[in-house]
Structure 1
Amino acid sequence: MEECRNSNSCFSLAMIDVNSFKRVNDIYGHTEGDRVLLNLAHILNINSNISFLPVSDCKTL
């Protein structure tokens, strides 16, 4: 956010509900669940002109 503020750029935050995602963590574990989220972020990145960063990778803003 600070970088956006300094460069007078826009900042957006989106929350995406991944249906039944809890089952992924329950069945395959949190490590695999994190991998699924990172892959989802990658898919969103390559199919859009904006950057997505999973919340688990974000530092305190």
Structure 2
Amino acid sequence: MTEPLRWFTSSHSNNGGQCVEVADAQDHILVRDSKDPHGPALAFPASAFAAFIDGIKTGELR
């Protein structure tokens, strides 16, 4: 039996539900619009998503 995905938003997010949600799906990170939870989700390799987050934290990506 497969467990349902656990979607979450950033702990820094407090904008009334208009944000991005993410879920860990084994070796991929899924990203969706919180206003459309039954809509499409984008899938990124976990390593690529980690590099994206690191780029934001270091200021490489603005």
Report the TM-score range of the alignment, normalised by the length of the smaller protein. Answer: under 0.3
Q: Structure 1 length as normaliser, TM-score?
A: 0.25
Q: Structure 2 length as normaliser, TM-score?
A: 0.25
Q: Which has the larger radius of gyration?
A: 1
- Higher relative helix content: 1
- Higher relative strand content: 2
